[in-house]
Amino acid sequence: NAGVTQTPKFRVLKTGQSMTLLCAQDMNHEYMYWYRQDPGMGLRLIHYSVGEGTTAKGEVPDGYNVSRLKKQNFLLGLESAAPSQTSVYFCASVQGYNTGELFFGEGSRLTVL
Amino acid sequence: KNQVEQSPQSLIILEGKNCTLQCNYTVSPFSNLRWYKQDTGRGPVSLTIMTFSENTKSNGRYTATLDADTKQSSLHITASQLSDSASYICVVAGMNYGQNFVFGPGTRLSVLP
């Protein structure tokens, strides 16, 4: 039982390049989230999903896209990376909205030059 | 706007001492409040989850309190250990669908020998 797994853990991009972060959970959770964490700020929600095939925008969605084609996977894409997207990205999942324990991945550190 | 504030921003204590971290929130309607521990370079890990009907909840040397009337919570750490050095994040879940978890900025705790 791995919980929530994020890949890659580290990535350096040049401005304008694209990439995809993968989040996989093996707990059969319905809800999945992508957050970014910047120094001195709380985690901010980028996009979330309430079930397979669904996605919704969070607080800071601009410049990101997501897909949830399979229940266990939640992908975060950057089509044209910008230096402002340098951050640590966390994926999280929970079974029932606002009732269950929220499990986090270990994070993906992205640097955009 | 739903917000979560934490104080102090950072705290340094000696090993073996106790400390208390504070969390104030404006999330409404309120569902539950969570405390997470985040070690440097790792994802947050859940310490406690409290609903509005719970005043206190313990997890080993960690004790969280909640006053839903004043919208305040505290996390008390007893007999601190070096391994308690981490960021402690207060997270509040709202009741309404689509009202996602709101994260505080965290308190950075350093425990010195």
| Closest residue, chain B, to A6 (C-alpha) | B43
**Residue A39: predicted pLDDT:** 87
Mutate to test the interface with A, among B101, B102, B103, B107 (most CBs of A within 10 A): B101
Q: Is residue B96 over pLDDT 90?
A: no
Residues 39-68, chain A, touching B (beta carbon < 8 A): 40-45, 48, 56, 58
* B27 reaches A (C-beta below 8 A): no
pLDDT digits (tens, 9 = 90+) for B12-70: 999 999 999 999 999 888 889 999 999 999 999 999 999 988 999 999 999 999 999 99
Could you read off the pLDDT of A20-46 as tens digits, one per residue? 999 999 999 999 999 999 987 889 999
CA distance A76 to A63: 10
**Of the listed ranges A9-23, A61-75, B87-101, the one predicted with least confidence:** B87-101
pLDDT of B74 over the 80 cut = yes
Instruction: Give the full edge-to-edge strand order of the sheet including A4-7.
Output: A4-7, A19-25, A73-78, A64-67
**Long-range CB pairs of A54-63, under 8 A, 24+ apart, other chains included:** A56/B98, A58/A33, A58/A34, A58/B100, A60/A36
